[in-house]
Structure 1
């Protein structure tokens, strides 16, 4: 179906495409008439459709309705630039909508409001995916698609690279200086929406700065600075970390002018406390990110070592350089390795396991394998692990994962706990579960603001340097590729923000240990 739509939208012939687009427009607008919550206004070259208003201002408005529309809901406006939009929408539902947005076939004043209207009318609009038009087109085979996205060991690295091996410099454009690419924990969920708060966009890495070796704001000359300047000595009670372990070294305080950086540190410390990582512990990290977790562990807890796994070459290189700059190369070992290929000598070798938002890339078919390998690697008597992962109420393939995370799978919390039990054969015992998903809405807004503000001066140069053959040329084709890339990421930010705001997406932190592990105690933290 996807290949068919691509062929139809790419062809210049009007003999087939134009009649199909006209038919698709009629089919879609007839279904959109069922909107009763909020308002959706669609501008086309020939019509302005208004769906959801109380007054019947459009000829498409049904004369008989069992429900009254809610005029107090969100008002979203959408402009159709290319009639291909209707064909994509009818043929592929929300996936088609995302493609149309990426390719500039539609524009939105506020994409978040469009999603809010769609979600508020979820039951009414579900017919789009079950319409006769969709079923007829959908019966065409998609040979090879499932095999391509299945997260086998062979495909896993390709699937991870599709998202993370874009460019370290590109991610520096929208992440905070600690380079943590996961949900933060803020003191207030929506404080950023108040006009009185200063913008934190300027706090992203700029010229003359590199990501901090310890996860804090650090100048580019860090690698040449004296080791004693990298860290400050604090008593444990000052930062409130590991109060039962005695004095340790602490990295620089996060940039207090950047609420995102402070919130990321708050989340990292929360996971470290939940895992109860102690001096001299050996820690396994599945999913390195850009090293913020491993750097914080080793720079704050004496004698700890971290073996961190990643499938991203870009991430591995940056983590190694940050560890070297911090003088921690002997304690942070970076492995370009699939978790299923851990060496035999690692069996039972780790005191603690941390894995932050990597589980989404595991794939449904391999979830039990994931937990079985964690069970295999952890100390058989006193091992403790903390896994943070994005969840959904009902397991389904999402639009965002189809584009940005090939092979990805968003599980339900029940599925995670069930596969943990089966994969470990009951040898891993869940200790606590919490959901920080609502904090992701603000995290995504912070990323989107930085991404849009720094796209021209930071992200485009990074993309051109990384992919000169595709985006490096100074012509219309290269600019079109760049614009599609930009729209894909904006769609991702907005789509996920609404999902977390409305609790259709969650972000659960699961802590687990061994039966009989009395050393762990009860790690309850605010």
Structure 2
């Protein structure tokens, strides 16, 4: 009954009811709300929850050996996550976490070939999957909620306006490089609404094909091009500096030993008065390690860095940090929309994949939402430039530009 002892120490707030493989039911916590339950359906599940819960719980749910008991998956994970941070940590999870911290340089070693395989693992899936839970523009990154009441489409459009405002696209024809362009939505928006000439790069063949098709269909193929290219090859590929660089939701795949090379590439491709905007997931509690289940099944080689790990490499690159913004609960709200859309379209997704895949994605979306709502995850945006005078002295221009764009005209 080692798991019983661990849960007795761990669950201090709310009530967790556990049904063990023997059929015995045990309550943990203070008996108050919130309440949730966990059903462990095999002796193997019980022992795996002792040995390595960070990996085991997701795998057990995928295989049907662990189920929410009289509650939703989100409610079960929410109660467990809340107590993981508020009470005593699981002793084996503490040890496993420290081991992950020690080997993270190896886990995040992402040379070009490995980066390509890591991207293919998550992004080269059936294209219909993402269309069934993302917004119409397939923005697979944090949206921007001014009030929290926006639709997903409205919040993603606001995110693109916010990014464009920070890029200072003050005149038509500025050249922009989009590092990690996804399905092309950001690049196409900057070309269509802001008059930019954009080169988008990705390592996903699935995304590349969709992005190129969208450019053709939108009549923007003369102003937007998409290439299968690693960011490390950008300077030689372009052969000349550009006006702007944007990267949204890609930096999490770079790896800590490659941060310096990433910002060196950004510096090399920017004109002396150029501007870059890097938007990424981070953590507010300092350096950490990627959850083992997430690294194995969703984002191999991925890591959400603390700014304390990022800023020293920016400083050594010779780039000025001209603006920093922290987006706190915006991604929690974004993923809440994704999770609900996934649930509404589950039958269609099941026709593309199997039940285990659907359960994997359900666990991913629920856990990711809680990482931003209950834990230390957030998003940061860094505006960068080789020049100290590349942007105005105050931040007023950002809001002014967004208001003008929302009203149908681009502000200078």
Task: Report the TM-score range of the alignment, normalised by the length of the smaller protein.
Answer: 0.7 to 0.9
Instruction: After superposing the two structures, state which structure 1 stretch, 489-498 or 344-353, moved more.
Output: 344-353
2:218 counterpart residue number: 326
Out of 1, 4, 14, the residue aligned to residue 38 of structure 1 is 14
User: In structure 2, what is the Cα distance between the partners aligned to 1:332 and 1:168?
Assistant: 21
1:287 pairs with one of 173, 176, 180: 180
Shift in alpha-carbon separation, 1:378–1:146, aligned structure 2, 3 A: closer
Of the two, which has the highest radius of gyration?
1
What stretches of structure 1 of length at least 5 have no aligned partner? 1-25, 55-70, 192-257, 464-481
Partner of 1:506: 378
Q: Which residue of 1 aligns with 2:357?
A: 485
- 1:313 aligned onto 2:273: no
- Look up the SS of the partner of 2:119 in the other structure: helix
- Equivalenced residue count is 385
Aligned with 1:402: secondary structure? helix
Q: 2:303 aligns with which of 409, 413, 423?
A: 409
Structure showing greater relative contact order (alpha-carbon pairs closer than 8 Å, 6 or more residues apart): 2
Once the two structures are superposed, residues 124-156 of structure 1 have per-residue CA deviations (whole angstroms, 9 ceiling, x without a partner) of 13323257xx89xx99xxxx9986763111111
What is the CA distance between 1:298 and its match in structure 2? 0.4
Is this contact kept in 2: 1:437–1:503, CA < 8 A?
no
Matched, 1:187 2:146: yes
1:430-453 per-residue CA deviation (whole Å, 9 max, x = no partner) reads 111112230111211111111111
The alpha-carbon deviation at position 118 of structure 1 amounts to: 2.4
1:53 aligns with 2:30: yes
- The one of 94, 101, 114 equivalent to 2:76 is 114
Write the distance in 1 (CA, Å) between the matches of 2:19 and 2:161.
48
Match of 1:103 among 55, 59, 63: 63
CA drift at 1:262: 0.9
Out of 129, 136, 143, the position equivalent to 1:177 is: 136
How far did residue 38 of structure 1 move?
Answer: 1.3
Structure 1 range deviating more: 93-102 or 356-365: 93-102
**1:396 maps to 2:257:** no
Query: Do 2:168 and 2:391's aligned partners in 1 also have CA atoms closer than 8 Å?
Result: no
Q: TM-score, normalised by structure 1?
A: 0.69
1:374 offset after TM fit, Å?
0.6
Q: CA deviation at 1:48?
A: 0.3
Does residue 91 of structure 2 align to residue 127 of structure 1?
yes
Distance 1:522 1:352, change over 3 A: farther
The answer to whether 1:461 aligns with 2:351 is: yes
* 1:159 equivalent in alignment to 2:50: no
Deviation at 1:99, TM superposition (A): 1.2
Alpha-carbon separation, structure 2, partners of 1:261 and 1:187? 13
| Structure 2: distance between partners of 1:301 and 1:95 | 45
Measure the CA separation in 2 of the matches of 1:148 and 1:445.
Answer: 29
Contact 2:108 2:257 in 1 (8 A): no
Check if 1:90 corresponds to 2:50.
yes
String of CA shifts for 1:229-275, please: whole Å, max 9, x gaps: xxxxxxxxxxxxxxxxxxxxxxxxxxxxx810111000011000011
SS in 2 for 1:490: helix
Kept after mapping to 1: 8 A contact 2:108/2:256: no
1:44-64 deviation digits (Å, cap 9, x = unpaired) = 34210110035xxxxxxxxxx
Report matched runs for 1:178-257 at 5 Å.
178-189=137-148, 191=149
User: Residue 46 of structure 1: SS of its match in structure 2?
Assistant: coil
* Pairwise CA RMSD: 2.3
Which among 146, 152, 159 is matched to residue 267 of structure 1? 159
Residues 519 and 396 of structure 1: is their aligned pair in 2 closer, same or farther, counting only changes over 3 Å?
Answer: closer
CA distance in 2, matches of 1:306, 1:110: 44
Q: 2:321 aligns with which of 422, 430, 435?
A: 430
Secondary structure at the aligned position of 1:187 is classed as coil
User: Following the alignment from structure 2 to structure 1, what is the Cα–Cα distance between the partners of residues 73 and 380?
Assistant: 26
- Is residue 2:315 matched to residue 1:421? yes
Gaps of 5+ in 2: 400-412
